Every structure is written in C-alpha cells, then in structure tokens.
A and B are shown apart, each in its own frame.
Chain A
C-alpha cells in the first residue's frame, strides 16, 4: 500500500506538534498584519501574534463562523492582495449570497497535494483511469479532485456531474478504474447500469472516492456490493480548502486529517470549550498553510470525534470518525447546502406568501428529493386553477434560483403545518442513511 507523502503522513506526534506550532504562529502573524477582521478581533481580545508560540496556544484564538465569511462578502476575509489570487470558488450561503473562497498559486499546490494524498490513500495510482463525476465549476468538488488525480499521475476523465448514460459508456470504453462522485450519485449509477443492462463484469471499476454529503456504513455496503468496488469516504469543505481535508485509507477506519495543513480541534458546540480525545463534539479547523483565505478556528458545525492512535496503514495523522450529524439545521441535499432560512426568505420575496412552510427531504430510489409544503393563505387563494398553478410555479422558480436545486412545491391548506412554541419544526428528513 502506498503513501503519497510518508514524511508528513507518518510523522511522530512530537515533530508534528512542533511543525504545527511553527506554522500556527506564522499564520497568526500573517493574518494579524494582513487582515482587518482578524486584527480587530484579536485586539478586542487583547492578544497579539507573540502570544501564539506553540500548538497549545491555539485555544487563545478567536473562533470563525460561516456568517463571518458572509458578512465579509466577497473578499474581505482574504489575507493577500487580489493580485495574488489565482482562483475563486463559491458555495451557497444562507441568504442567497454565496460563501466565496480564494486560492493563491501556493494554495492550489497545497490542495493538489492533499488530494494526491487522498487518492493515494484510496489506492489510486498513475496507471488508473479516474472519472471525475463531481460537478466542475464554482463547486470545489470537481476541480479539487481533478488536480489531485493529475498529481498522482492517473489518467483523468473530467466528465463532471450528470449525463449518466455517457458516464457509463465511457466507463466501459475507457476501462475506468476509479469513480469520484457523491455517494448518492454512485447508487444512481448502479441503478442506471441495471436499467441499461450493463454487465458489471464488463467494467473495470475498482474504487470509488465519495464525499460532499453525509452517508452511512449501510450505504457504503450497498454501493460496494452493487458496483463491486471499494467505497472510500473523503471529507472537505470549501472554507478550509475543498475536498482533501481528510480521507479514508483502504482500511476504512476513520478519516486521516491532513493536519500539517489543517489543525483540528473538537469543542463543545455550546460552551466552545475544547473536549478531550475520543469525545464527540463540533469539529473546528485552523488552516496553517493557506495564504488566500486562512481561517482561525473555523467552526464546521460537523459533529465527530478524534483519535491520535496510529492507523494499521502506518499513517500517524489524526483520524476523525465519519460525521454523524450537524450542530445546526443545515441540510445537505444532493451535495448542495440548504438552510431552511433560505426557503423562508425566498417565500417572503413573493408578496402573497407567508413563511408557513415545511421541508420534506426524502430519498427516492437513490436520489434526494426536496418537497416544500406551502400553506395557501386566503389572500392569495383564487377560484381559478390557472392562477394557483402560476403561483406554484413562481414559488418553485424562486426557491430553485435561490438554492440551485430542483424542488417540488405542494400547496396545502392553511394551519395544516404544525406550529410549535419556540423553534418551529421546519424540516422532516425522511432519508434513512
């Protein structure tokens, strides 16, 4: 079994801590002097870069949350002049404004490095044909995987998402060994294979590298069985770098975090106090090599735990357990982040609507579906079917253009959506992962 960067991936703990400490100090120093947002935050807390000398000092630093990125839209959290930025990506945000991330040339190299480690961990090598079926574009999935796959020297097929028949045809014709996509799309591919009568033995698929949405062990087994492959979980978020933050090796026992670039902490989501090894809490990352958008103690909202035990594969990189849930109400539907508040604001943008709605997420076959139930208020109820259908279409359009995700809208009678005191129940997630 190969390891891409043995020096970093199998380093002893003391050396790793030393390197992390040095890089942390450098990052804080750079951020303090180049970024008003963080300088103000640190000054308010009465700390300077000199207070951060070793890894243990990380807890003195301020947290960063998603709204900080939004409030500084688009570029104010960047710590380099725009002339140094060579790439921008964006993901959906809570108010329709996306979260923008910027990369310097060095950041792109770092990203390729961590993705090369990721693919190597999954057993991918330069003789492989890899089909990248993550979306290319503003989403970090496609290009992130692309650069890493090229770095390991595999033959990359940048087919992007969708176009399933073509995917299967190329898989057969090119002899694709590796597929990189969301786990739900992998299941969809399996279903289409069956429909198109494609014999699995005609394909050379060996490994799938899956991420961008939560999935469970049950789903893993199903994918492995149906496609006859090994299904590897990868984790990442665009704020930190995109895919490549952590990855499973072939032993599938937790995700190795590229901690020489991204220092993880687990904190109590309520008190924000650091939790000891093995305890479940909110995952927090501090980037220590990034130039374009370095983030201090970024709260991912993902719940997991860490183990520093050496893995059977030989890597000593800290491992995180497959994520079990999120500490807020964000939904991930077909790999797209959806906040109920986005739907609320979309509805409020339609004059006739009141924000009485309910989101129902289901998995039909292997794809997630989102149904938005909207109450028909008397003021916009018409005796003409045509007008109600028009209204429905307008709601669908508004939500789809906000989320970038297709939805079904169902008009329901007033007061049929349950009201509760306090935090209302806006989401019914019927997916059994």
Chain B
C-alpha cells in the first residue's frame, strides 16, 4: 500500500516548474497529483506520476535533485466529516504527519499523507477500515 512520491528541489525562479512538466511530457509521463511547498528562496515539488522510476531518471538527467519518498494514499468519501474522522484516528493512534495534500474525483477524495512512520500509518488506517489506494491504482487515475 506504499505509494512512491517523487520530491524535486526547485530554485525559486520563474520557469522551473514549467521545466519539470515539460520533461515529463516529453517522456509521456502523466502526473496524478502534486503539491509545491515554498520558502523564500526554494521550493519542493512533490508529485505522484504514472511511472516514478523513469520520471526520476529523466529529471536527474536534467540535473534536478530528486528523491523518492514513501507516502500513503487514503480514499475518503467526498463528504463532510470524512477527513475529520480519518485524521482523528491517526492522531489518537499517535501517527505524526509531516505534510499532506489532496484531490477529489467525483465521490472520492484522495488524501496523500506523508507520515513519520509509514508502516504504522498503514496498519492504523487498515485496522479502522479506511480504504487505502494501491500504488498501481493511483498511478492509473
């Protein structure tokens, strides 16, 4: 249930994100989700793509610093209270989150979580019958 996320270091200057998108496009790689964390002089792009391995290789070829991080994707019903319930479970069980981002598709809301302890996070969510999305499914979205 582990999902591979790519993290890319971006200098805070115009055109850097566009360059990443362009590299992935020429390799025919699709982005399922991404988020950008920004500071005053750099940003970190986190993205879920259809083919993490070749995406990583293509970016490295173009001198980007890339690393792969294990994240978890949970599927909450796209309705009020669903996220609240899931997050309460995680906090009650002592799972710490570094960051998360989300997108919704029709009835489902996909929440990508970067917990400090991935294994524990998966166990907790599965024990509470919260649906997790497998990497293979997510990449196909």
Q: Which residues of A contact B (CB under 8 A)?
A: 376-378, 381-385, 388-389, 410-416
CA A414 to CA B10, docked complex, whole Å = 10
Partner of A389 from the list B9, B39, B64, B66 (CB cut-off 8 Å) is B39
**Contact across chains for B65 and A378 when beta carbons are under 8 A apart:** yes
Nearest B residue to A377 by beta-carbon distance?
B65
Q: State whether A413 touches B41 (Cβ < 8 A).
A: no
Q: Is the CB of B67 within 8 A of A381?
A: yes
- CB pair A381–B39 under 8 Å, yes or no, is no
Q: With a CB–CB cut-off of 8 A, which chain A residues contact B64? A: 413-414
Residues of B within 8 A of A378 (CB): 60, 65-67
Residues of chain B contacted by A382 (CB below 8 angstroms): 7, 67
How far, in angstroms, from A389 to B9 measured CA to CA in the complex?
A: 13
Given contacts A389-B39, A411-B41, contact A383 B63 (CB under 8 A): no
Instruction: Given contact pairs A383-B44, A383-B69, enumerate 17 new A-B contacts (beta carbons under 8 Å).
Output: A376-B42, A376-B65, A378-B60, A378-B67, A381-B7, A381-B9, A382-B7, A382-B67, A383-B5, A384-B99, A388-B9, A411-B11, A411-B41, A412-B42, A413-B16, A413-B64, A416-B11
Q: Are B5 and A410 in contact (CB under 8 A)?
A: no
B37 CB within 8 Å of chain A:
yes
State which residues 11-68 of B face A: CB under 8 Å.
11, 16, 37, 39, 41-42, 44, 46, 60, 63-67
Q: B65: which A residues are within 8 A, CB to CB?
A: 376-378, 381, 413-414
Interchain nearest-CB distance for B133 vs A (Å) = 20
CA distance A388 to B9 in the complex (A): 10
Once bound together, how far apart are the Cα atoms of A388 and B65, in whole Å? Answer: 13
Interface size class of B (residues with CB under 8 A): 20 to 34
B46 touching A383 by the CB < 8 A rule? Answer: yes
Chain A residues whose CB sits within 8 angstroms of the CB of B99 once the complex forms: 384
> Considering the chains assembled together, what is the distance between the CA atoms of A410 and B13 in angstroms?
12
Minimum CB–CB distance for A229 against chain B, Å: 39
CA distance A413 to B9 in the complex (A): 7
- When A and B form their complex, what is the total count of cross-chain residue pairs whose Cβ atoms lie within 8 Å? 53
Contact flags (1/0) for B88-99 with A, using CB distance below 8 Å? 000000000011
Partner of B42, one of A377, A411, A415: A411
Cα distance A384–B114 when bound, in Å? 10
Chain A residues with CB under 8 A of B60: 378
The reply to whether B44 and A412 form a contact with Cβ atoms under 8 Å apart is no
Query: A383 and B41: CB pair below 8 A?
Result: no
Separation of A412 and B63 alpha carbons in the complex (Å): 11
Contact partners of A377 in chain B: CB under 8 A: 65
Q: Are A385 and B67 in contact (CB under 8 A)?
A: no
Least CB separation from A383: chain B residue: B7
Most chain A beta-carbon neighbours within 10 Å: one of B9, B10, B46:
B9
Closest 3 CB pairs of A and B: A383-B7, A415-B63, A381-B65
- Who on chain B is nearest to A389 by CB? B39
> Which residues does chain B contribute within 8 Å of A410, judged by CB atoms?
41
28 cross-chain CB contacts under 8 A? A376-B9, A376-B42, A376-B65, A378-B60, A378-B65, A378-B66, A378-B67, A381-B7, A381-B66, A381-B67, A382-B7, A382-B67, A383-B5, A383-B7, A383-B44, A383-B67, A384-B44, A384-B98, A388-B39, A388-B42, A388-B44, A410-B41, A411-B11, A411-B42, A413-B9, A413-B16, A414-B64, A415-B63
Chain A residues, CB < 8 A from B9: 376, 381, 388, 411, 413
Contacts of B41 on A, CB cut-off 8 Å? Answer: 410-411
Candidates B11, B44, B63; contact of A385 at CB < 8 Å: B44
Q: How far is the CA of A376 from the CA of B64 in the complex (A)?
A: 9
CA distance A377 to B65 in the complex (A): 6
In the assembly, what is the distance between CA of A388 and CA of B37, in Å? 12
B98 to chain A: which residues have CB within 8 Å? 384
